[in-house]
Structures are given as structure tokens and as C-alpha cells.
Amino acid sequence: MDKLIFLYIVVALLVIVLILYLRNVQSSLKKISQLRDERERLTKENSDLKKKLSEISSISHNCENSIENFKNVISNLEIVSQKNYSEFFEGILDLAISCIPEAKAGSISIIDGRKWKYMAIRGSGKNLEKLKSLDLKSEWMILTPKVSVIEDIAKANEKNVPREYSKIIEEVVGGHIYRSLVLPLKNGGDLVGNCFLDALEDIQFSRNSHSMAEILSNLFSTMITLKSLATLPEVSINNSLRTIVNFYEMKNSGTRGHSENVAHLAVRIGERMNLSPQQIGDLYWAGIFHDIGLIAVPDEILEKPGKLTDQEFEVMKSHTLIGEKMLQIYDHLKEMGLVARTHHENFDGSGYPENLKGGSIPLLSRIISLADAFDTMRRPKNYGEGLSTEEAIKQIEADTPSKYDPEISRIAVEVFKSISTSTR
């Protein structure tokens, strides 16, 4: 009997041990399964991370290329703008194709009365002169108010343009046009034509190409407008350019009247400095035109409420160089062009675009810089109210001499204080 009890006890203990063992095995298997799942998750995350890093690297590379392309466009603006009418359009088309990697061909068309004329064509095909000689009606032209992509232009326009004309277009560009990135071209506010950048392979235009197209559309439209003013008298040119500046500023309540304010402030500072009548006159027009290059900067960048990306800031900074190129088309505005280029230079050399320092910054630019800053500080921003006159003066005093010429700053503050007193 004792042996039987003992046997039961041994069996019971073995069962307990077995149960504990099985529970332990089950727990281990569960942990192994969890570890396997964790490994798979980490492997997937690692794969996703590598993919994201690759995308970031690609985006960074594309951004660098876009910035270099944009700098190339700016450096060639003056050369292109000085060409005759026909060569001018060929020049801007070449610049556009060089900036859009997917485009292997392209054209620029302008409405001329009731006709539609090809001003420039680029491709590897033939019959170029035949295409230019075609009798094209203005109502056949596809006009887009903003940058857009048109799939298979021959098919998209088959209801308007005779098929034989579309065949000649494809013969000229050297292949089938899968899709086109279309840039609207304007003279003043009027839509007068377009620039087609054609993909001859079945590839999509990248986001960077779309962004660059927006910039080029603004820039080329501005150049077309300036080109149309070139034969006018000096006074008419100045007034026409002022109208363009006013039109641009009217679109944004935050900049409305800014250039006029800067011009009048700069003149008052110049008068206190006993500058010559010629310098005072130059100061006025320099104030009117100091930000004219912003016309070529896309609205999405100008009106962006948050911080700009590096690429966006490079585009924003380029308004100084673009302004210079725009104004130097006219001999009597070359001095104003220099001010447009250098009005964001800082007295300590920390400004842009050339990090000029101290007296190497033109005198008129040092004056415009203060007038520009004062008026800008007092304006409401996307993210809050502007500064009071007293707060703006304190900020200018705090930023002297790092940003501003100490002597001119002292005189400017006197002018700003007199404004504050006269408006009480």
C-alpha cells in the first residue's frame, strides 16, 4: 500500500513537472514568435528607412540640381534679354529645356492678332521652316492660365488642329510627344502664349520640374513684358515698370504700397544727408524698383506662412539678382539695378548675395536697406501683427552696426522718429 501511494506521489510530481515544462516551452515558443515578429518588423522598418533615405538623397540631389539650374538661368538672363526678338525666344526656350531633365524638345508659341505663331522650336527632327510657315489660327492654340501637364498633345488638340499639322509638329521634334509641361507666357497681365516642354519618352515630370516650371513661367513672362517696353522713352519705361510693381503689390495686402513707402522714406533720409538732387532722384526710383525681382518668384513661396526650405530660400534670395538683370536692360536704370542687387547686404558682411561689407555696399543700397526694413517691420505678417514705430526703431538700433551703417542708421532713426511724432 505504501509503495502504491509513493508511486502516485511520484506520478503526480512528474505530471506537475511536465505541466511546468510544457508551460515554459509554450512561453518560450511565444517569446520566439514575438521575437520573430519583432525581427520582421525591424527588417521592414529598416527596409522602409533605407527607402526613405534613398528618397531623401534623391530629393536633395534634385534640389541641388534645381538650384544650379536656376543660378544658370539667372546668369544668362542679361545675355538673352539683349538678343533681338526672334533670338530672345530661342534663348529662353533653350534655358527652359536645360532646366527640365524630362524635356527633350519644346516650342514657344505667341498669339499675333488672329494667328498663332511659333517663335522658337527645339527638336531633333526636320521640317522646321515648314512648321513656322503654317497658317495657324489663334483659337487653335491651347492656352493654360497656370503651369500644367497635357497628355499626348496631338490627341488632346485633334478637334481643333488638323491632323496633318500635328504630324508636322512630331516630325519637327523628332518623335511622339507623350506629354508636355506647359508654361503660360504673359505680357503684363495678359496671356499671350505658351512654352511647351515635351517628353519624347513615357516618363512623368517630377515635382521639382513642376516647381522649376512655375519659376520659369513667372520669369519669362516678366522678361517678355520688359522686352515690350524697350523702345519707349525713359519716363514711359519708369512709369510702366512702376505700374507693374504696383500691380504685383496689389495682389498681396501685406506688400501693398511698400515700394512707394520705401521710396519716400529713402528720399527723406537722403535729404537729411544733403545728397545731390541727382542722388535724391535715383533714391526715389531705387526705392520703387528695389524689390522688382520678386515678380519672378512664385506666389506659393512669397505667401508661405511657415519657414522656407533651403531651395525655396535660394529662390527667394534670387530676387536681388533677377531685379538687377531686369533693370540693367535699360541704360538709365543701371544704378537702380545695382541697388536691387545689393539692398540685402549687411554692414558686417553677413548679407546676400555677395556678402559685401561696410563701404563696399553702395551708398544708395545702405539707405534703401534701412527704409525697407522699417516699412517691412511695421507691416502685418502672416503670423502676427507688425511692430509699432517705436518697436521698429528699437529693432533697427539693436541691429546697428551688424546690419546697418551706423551713421546712416542714426539719421534714419531721426527721420523715423519725426514720422512717429507727426502722426500722433
User: What does the domain layout of the chain look like in residue ranges?
Assistant: 1-82, 83-227, 232-422
Angle at 341 between CA 275 and CA 349, to 5 degrees: 85
| Cβ partners under 8 Å of residue 154, min gap 6 | 163, 166, 167, 169, 170, 177
Tell me, what's the pLDDT at 284?
A: 95
- pLDDT-derived band at 117 (thresholds 50, 70, 90) equals confident
d(CA 353, CA 25): 70
pLDDT digits (tens, 9 = 90+) for 284-302: 999 999 999 988 888 888 8
Within 13 Å of residue 251, how many CA atoms lie on the same side as its CB? 13
pLDDT in tens, 75-111: 676 677 667 777 889 999 998 998 899 999 999 988 8
pLDDT, average across residues 58-71: 57
Q: For residue 347, what pLDDT is reported?
A: 96
For the 83-227 domain, the top CATH level (class) is: alpha beta
**Mean of the pLDDT values across residues 368-394?**
87
Q: State the CATH architecture for 232-422.
A: Orthogonal Bundle (1.10)
Looking at residue 22, what is its pLDDT? 67
Averaged pLDDT, 313-317: 88
Question: Which of 153-157, 194-198, 320-324, 412-416 is predicted least confidently?
Answer: 153-157
Whether 83-227 and 232-422 share one fold: the answer is no
pLDDT in tens, 328-345: 888 899 999 999 999 999
**What are 160-210's pLDDT values in tens digits?**
777 777 777 777 777 888 999 999 999 877 889 999 999 999 999 998 899
Find out whether the peptide bond into 277 is cis, omega within 30 degrees of 0.
no
